[in-house]
Amino acid sequence: MSDRLVELTLLYRDGVIDPAALDELQSSLRSDATARDRFVELLYHGRLIHRLHAPGRVQTESQPPSPMTRRRRVVGVYSGVALAAAALIALALTAWFVLSPAPQAPTPVPSPRSSHAIAMFSDCSADAVFADAARAPQLGQSLEPGSIRLVAGKAQLMFRTGAVVDLIGPCDFEMTQANAGVLHHGRLEAFVPGAAHGFTVRGPDFSVIDRGTAFTLRIDPDRNAYVQVTEGRVIIQPNDGSPAYDLAASESISFAAEARRYLRHNAAEPSQPLALPTGYAAMIRDASPTAYWPVPDTETFERVPDLPALPGAGQSLRAREPIALSGSYTLECWLWLNAPRRSTILGLGVGSSADDIISHTLLLETLAADELDMRFPAQGNVLRDLHRSRGVPDVNSLSDRTYAVRRWQHVAVTFDGAHVRVYLDGRLTAESSADHPLAGPAYLIIGSLAQHNIPPDRQRLLDGFVRQLAVYDRALPAGVIAEHAGDTHTPTAPTKTEKTP
């Protein structure tokens, strides 16, 4: 390939090619099949180099990136297409978005729909299921403005500008322009090359405007949303005209629809993977939980066979169905906190529904000074505090252990009908007397106060991540908790604390 063609390809890749140079590039690619092959190869290797040397990048998968997506695949890998067919598809895509007329400048607000193709259906997984099976798109099919409703599996779209969107079912995504779309609900991952600068995805409450080059967007059916930037920058523009958020790589933001509140996170994902003790899932099954929520990552929710799972998504969650507990209980999870700030970790709420919590049976929160704060009803509906350093009379502090910041920590809270106990990394940290049983079905709360009379600015959304959440209808013994935490010390027997008169 000539030096001039290399120069033109790099200008196109970086999104700074002018109309005259684009015409020259198009002419060269139309007349030379070898040049087209080299063009695709150069884009691929340029993308690979960018991924290897991008500062602050988040490496989430080990497979090499491709010129078509930011993470893991050359077009055709989803569907298991043979290499020869995949090469033909790659060339077809090249001809489609390079040899076609250049797109108009993008705009965050979708314009009236055009009658011509604005995207191509570039890939799908073997298990992809579409809501309208009879009209499911075919690999390589040109797509006009309209919706893609994916029930399960994965599907990939390439916009005319070169922006690539991976849809993860269930997902409802609408294509509106050659460089814009609407995510009604579900999850998508977008890779935006320089030529597609300004690619925009609208949601029910805000728009994500890309400034290059990769992000993930998730919106649940209740309109709670989460945006993670893996490369480059994006602008979060609220639909109500309030100030925008400028997010860089490794930053993220969550949106609580009911509270109408945005919470910015310093780290999109934990910097360390969660290393569970050997045989952890089997240990949980042997303990017979009432509910088990593995949460392997922030977007994926899987079920363990023969165990009920709790619905929900995001940094703030309320179980939509109450949990049947006999009076005693255990809440157990692995916790990652991004910063020492006031936020709610777990709670049990009593009310007529998950959206009408009248009172909290238990709240486990963090304070700004690396301390745990636990509140539970005692002597009626008066909330009583249990924490390490405030000198509350009914506190029995058993160690100087505090919650961890920016590392995974095992957390367990038990209630046996007489005492509430907190365990960190398998070791008893604090306990107090409590004789207030559950007053009705309990709704599990993660990451917010979720009480109907708590104003939005006091919701204290969790700036962190909860994994492997299990709920039991009894107080687990200290030895079992230590085993789940992977702690090898000999558990200390719980101290009997006299009830407060």
Domain locations along the chain = 3-56+81-98, 119-265, 280-485
Architecture of domain 280-485: Sandwich (2.60)
pLDDT score, position 4: 84
Q: Which residue has the higher pLDDT, 254 or 345?
A: 254
What pLDDT digit, counting tens, does each position of 94-119 carry? 555 555 544 444 443 434 344 588 99
What pLDDT digit, counting tens, does each position of 270-301 carry? 778 888 999 898 899 899 998 887 765 433 33
Asked if 482 and 427 touch (Cβ cutoff 8 Å), the reply is yes
pLDDT score, position 35: 76
- Tokens 């009209």 correspond to 135
Residue 360 has pLDDT above 70, yes or no: no
pLDDT score, position 210: 93
Q: Which residue has the higher pLDDT, 485 or 84?
A: 485
Asked if the domains 119-265 and 280-485 are classified in one and the same CATH topology, the answer is yes
What pLDDT digit, counting tens, does each position of 169-213 carry? 999 999 999 999 999 999 999 999 888 899 999 999 999 999 878
- Looking at the chain, the number of H-run helices and the number of E-run strands are 6, 26
Give the separation between CA 122 and CA 93, rounded to whole angstroms. Answer: 8
Q: For residue 317, what pLDDT band results from cuts at 50, 70 and 90?
A: low
Report the SS3 class of residue 494: coil
pLDDT score, position 419: 84
Q: For residue 147, what pLDDT band results from cuts at 50, 70 and 90?
A: very high
What does the DSSP assignment read for 378-438?
ETTTEEEEEESSS--TT-EE-------SSS-EEEEEEE-SSEEEEEETTEEEEEEE-----
Residues 6+ apart with CB under 8 A from 4: none
- Tokens 């569907």 correspond to 79
Average pLDDT over residues 399-422: 80
Per-residue tokens: 269:
């994902």
Q: Which residue has the higher pLDDT, 472 or 340?
A: 472
CATH number of this structure's domain 119-265: 2.60.120.1440
Put simply, whether the predicted model's pTM sits higher than 0.75 gets the answer no
What does the DSSP assignment read for 140-167?
T-EE-SEEEEEEESEEEEEETTS-EEEE
Residue 167 has pLDDT above 70, yes or no: yes
Average pLDDT over residues 425-448: 74
pLDDT score, position 8: 83
Average pLDDT over residues 232-254: 88
Q: For residue 464, what pLDDT band results from cuts at 50, 70 and 90?
A: confident
pLDDT score, position 53: 44
pLDDT score, position 393: 33
pLDDT score, position 228: 85
